[in-house]
């Protein structure tokens, strides 16, 4: 019976899996790495992707200093996800198309909600960067920020707390969403941007919404929603 149910897993079930999420984010990763190769020093200075900085700092701490090892490592991880994906996970081409359409809907919804709530904050911030740098930031955010802040911090912390405590699941998820969103917001000030409460609150709220998407729809949808949301603001 279980095997029959697994075989019938459709788009909504398959798109929530980690394997589907990692594979669907491959175009974002390749686009980001390509733009990094083509970037000038000025473009690189304009990009402040806190998650990318965190991951590369951790790699440097263990002696890995190449700027390409992180991307290569993610590609290998995606390959492993294809080979060892959970039974019943379907990786159909049309599913990836559906995922982008679904993510575009969430991105538009987020743009309406967050931009209305914070007026012109993100729009005015986007004008400070070149289009090349803004595009790099959008693609990188869809990959690195979702992996660090949603997959590792939100999902990882929830998994640990579920096994180590007897707290209700609702409380665990709320705590993890709040903590990961706070770190997500703080990470944006690791570069040259000065701290401001209104941008910090904006990013915290955005982090909560991305946690919500990740929780119910998986890593891939969250990553594409994040990237497309940032793209909508710079177009």
CA neighbor of 186 nearest in space, from 77, 85, 53, 65 = 53
3-state SS, 68-93, equals CHHHHHHHHHHHHHHHCCCCCCCCCH
Given this model, what pLDDT does residue 64 score? 47
Determine contact, residues 52/35, Cβ cutoff 8 Å.
no
User: In which element (H, E) is residue 221 found?
Assistant: helix 219-234
CA neighbor of 150 nearest in space, from 56, 215, 75 = 215
55-76: average pLDDT? 58
C-alpha span between 226 and 220 (Å, rounded): 10
Give the tens place of pLDDT for each residue, 119-153.
555 444 544 667 777 788 888 889 889 998 999 99
Residue 167 neighbours by CB distance under 10 Å? 13
96-109: average pLDDT? 95
| Residue 201: alpha-carbon gap to chain centroid | 18
Determine contact, residues 143/28, Cβ cutoff 8 Å.
yes
Token representation of residue 134: 């803004």
Given this model, what pLDDT does residue 1 score? 37
Token representation of residue 148: 């660090």
Please check the confidence at residue 46 and state whether its pLDDT lies above 90.
no
């Amino acid at each position: 019976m279980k095997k029959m149910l697994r075989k019938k897993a459709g788009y909504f079930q398959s798109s929530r899996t980690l394997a589907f999420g990692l594979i669907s984010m491959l175009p974002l990763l390749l686009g980001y790495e390509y733009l990094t190769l083509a970037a000038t020093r000025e473009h690189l200075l304009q990009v402040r992707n806190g998650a990318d900085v965190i991951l590369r700092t951790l790699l440097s701490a263990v002696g890995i200093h190449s700027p390409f090892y992180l991307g290569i490592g993610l590609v290998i991880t995606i390959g492993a996800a294809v080979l060892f994906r959970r039974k019943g996970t379907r990786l159909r081409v049309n599913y990836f198309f559906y995922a982008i359409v679904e993510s575009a809907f969430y991105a538009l919804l987020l743009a309406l909600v967050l931009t209305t709530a914070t007026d012109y904050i993100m729009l005015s911030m986007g004008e400070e960067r070149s289009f090349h740098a803004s595009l790099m930031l959008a693609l990188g955010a869809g990959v690195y920020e979702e992996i660090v802040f949603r997959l590792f911090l939100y999902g990882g912390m929830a998994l640990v707390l579920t096994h180590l405590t007897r707290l209700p699941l609702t409380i665990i998820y709320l705590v993890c969403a709040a903590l990961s969103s706070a770190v997500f917001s703080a990470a944006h000030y690791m570069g040259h941007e000065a701290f401001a409460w209104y941008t910090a609150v904006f990013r915290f709220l955005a982090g909560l919404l991305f946690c919500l998407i990740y929780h119910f729809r998986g890593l891939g949808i969250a990553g594409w929603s994040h990237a497309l949301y940032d793209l909508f603001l710079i177009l």
